[in-house]
């Protein structure tokens, strides 16, 4: 049976409800899953209940934005307790993401008179459409013709991740561990080059020093070289080895020739290393 620990629901930017995700995962042969919604774990209770009815194991998870060196990276949190410092950190990250979109609308008003921050603040959208409010507002106002077209405008108007005070990887790892969770580096291929093994090892060493306790070794866009290197590294260091598809339902199903859906990564539970995480609904050890 397969594992997918990186799934996004309509509680962040996916198109599916937690219940729909659990049903699809069950139908496709997955016995262990986790939501990794961006900076929120609000969808987890619904996932846990749905998984319990279907006989699927699940983990509490979340994907947090943070800063490392010159990078804006994502850290996956697993197995944590719902404690206030971690929830507050996630809320802070989510607030910054929301402010990015508000700032974008405000800065674009001079070039697009049809845009209005006041209108934007009062307007709402259907989260099951995927993406986020800023993208939908630009599409609704005719500034963009496709939902994802608006992504490039954030950097163009100085509203990119690096322009906002996201917390450091060290601080995010510290708070995750304080809540009993384990921080895992998400999709290493998004930040680092497997062709530069010395540089990759240096980055991973620094991130382990910062508190990282695992790596998402299996991921749709990870090259075979990245998967092998990260898996070997985790085995040597005694770190978690995780697998995730980064599925968002119908939102961003294909990027740069890579597909992201439940089943894009089909990794058996025997191929990952998740101890000491404890699952919900589990009938045995991980």
The answer to whether residue 10 is domain-embedded is yes
Residues 158, 179 within the same domain: no
In a domain, 259, yes or no: yes
Regarding whether 159 and 41 lie in a shared domain, the answer is no
How far apart, in whole angstroms, are the C-alpha atoms of residue 18 and residue 48? 9
| 257, part of any domain | yes
Residue 98 lies in a domain: no
The verdict on residue 191 lying in a domain is: yes
CA–CA dist 243, 271 (Å, integer): 9
- Domain termination residue (choose one: 114, 148, 163): 163
142 and 206, same domain (yes or no): no
- Out of 141, 163, 185, a domain closes at 163
CA distance 163 to 244: 28
Residue partners of 286: CB distance under 8 A and separation at least 6: 32, 269, 274, 275, 277, 278, 279
Sign, Cα dihedral of 210, 211, 215, 220: negative
Last residue in a domain, options 163, 188, 210: 163
Say how many residues make up the chain.
286
Residue 198 lies inside a defined structural domain of this protein: yes
Residues 199 and 152 in one domain: no
For residue 218, which of 2, 35, 48, 9 has the smallest C-alpha distance?
2
CA distances from 191 to 39, 89, 104, 204, 286 (A): 19, 23, 25, 11, 29
pLDDT at 285 over 70: no
- 284 or 84, higher pLDDT: 84
Q: What is the pLDDT of residues 182-201, one digit of tens each?
A: 999 999 999 999 999 999 99
> Is 252 within a domain?
yes
* pLDDT at residue 282 in the model: 53
Domain membership of residue 137 as a residue range: 103-163
CATH of the domain at 229: 3.20.20.140
Same domain, 58 and 33: yes
Any domain includes 97: no
Question: Are 141 and 190 contained in the same domain?
Answer: no
Same domain, 17 and 119: no
Q: Tell me what pLDDT residue 101 has.
A: 98
Q: Mean pLDDT over residues 261-284, rounded?
A: 87
pLDDT > 90? residue 280: no
What is the structure's pLDDT at 286?
54
Query: Percent of the chain at pLDDT above 90?
Result: 96
The model's pLDDT over 206-250, given as tens digits with 9 standing for 90+, comes to: 999 999 999 999 999 999 999 999 999 999 999 999 999 999 999
Q: Both 200 and 122 in a single domain?
A: no
Convert the pLDDT of each residue in 11-51 to its tens digit: 999 999 999 999 999 999 999 999 999 999 999 999 999 99
Indicate the number of domains in the chain: 2
In this structure, the number of other CB atoms found within 10 A of the CB of residue 64 comes to 28
- Residue 134 shares a structural domain with residue 187: no
Most distant pair of Cα atoms in the chain: their distance: 59
Shared domain for 118 and 71, answered yes or no, is: no
Burial class of residue 70, CB neighbours in 10 A (0-12, 13-18, 19+): exposed
**Any idea what DSSP says for residue 166?**
P
pLDDT tens column, 65-77: 999 999 999 999 9
Do both 139 and 48 map to the same domain?
no
Residues 37 and 136 in one domain: no
């Amino acid at each position: 049976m397969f594992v997918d620990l990186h799934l996004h629901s309509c509680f962040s930017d996916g198109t599916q409800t937690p219940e729909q995700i659990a049903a699809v995962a069950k139908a496709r042969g997955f016995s262990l899953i986790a939501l990794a919604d961006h900076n929120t774990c609000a969808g987890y209770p619904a996932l846990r209940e749905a998984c319990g009815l279907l006989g699927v194991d699940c983990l509490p998870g979340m994907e947090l934005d943070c800063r490392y060196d010159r990078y804006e990276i994502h850290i996956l949190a697993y197995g944590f307790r719902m404690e206030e410092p971690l929830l507050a950190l996630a809320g802070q990250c989510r607030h910054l993401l929301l402010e990015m979109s508000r700032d974008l609308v405000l800065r674009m008003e001079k070039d697009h008179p049809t845009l209005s921050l006041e209108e934007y603040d009062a307007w709402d959208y259907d989260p099951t459409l995927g993406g986020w409010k800023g993208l939908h507002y630009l599409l609704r106002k005719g500034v963009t013709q496709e939902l994802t077209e608006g992504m490039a405008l954030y950097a163009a108007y100085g509203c990119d991740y690096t322009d906002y005070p996201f917390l450091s990887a060290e601080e995010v790892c510290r708070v995750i561990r304080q809540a009993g969770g384990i921080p895992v580096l998400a999709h290493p291929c998004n930040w680092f080059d497997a062709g530069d093994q010395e540089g990759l090892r240096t980055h991973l060493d620094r991130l382990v020093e910062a508190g990282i306790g695992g790596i998402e070794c299996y991921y749709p866009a990870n090259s075979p070289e990245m998967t092998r290197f990260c898996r070997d590294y985790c085995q040597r260091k005694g770190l978690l080895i995780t697998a995730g598809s980064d599925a968002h339902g119908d939102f961003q199903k294909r990027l740069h020739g890579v597909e992201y859906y439940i089943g894009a990564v089909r990794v058996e539970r025997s191929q990952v290393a998740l101890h000491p995480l404890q699952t919900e609904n589990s009938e045995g050890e991980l």
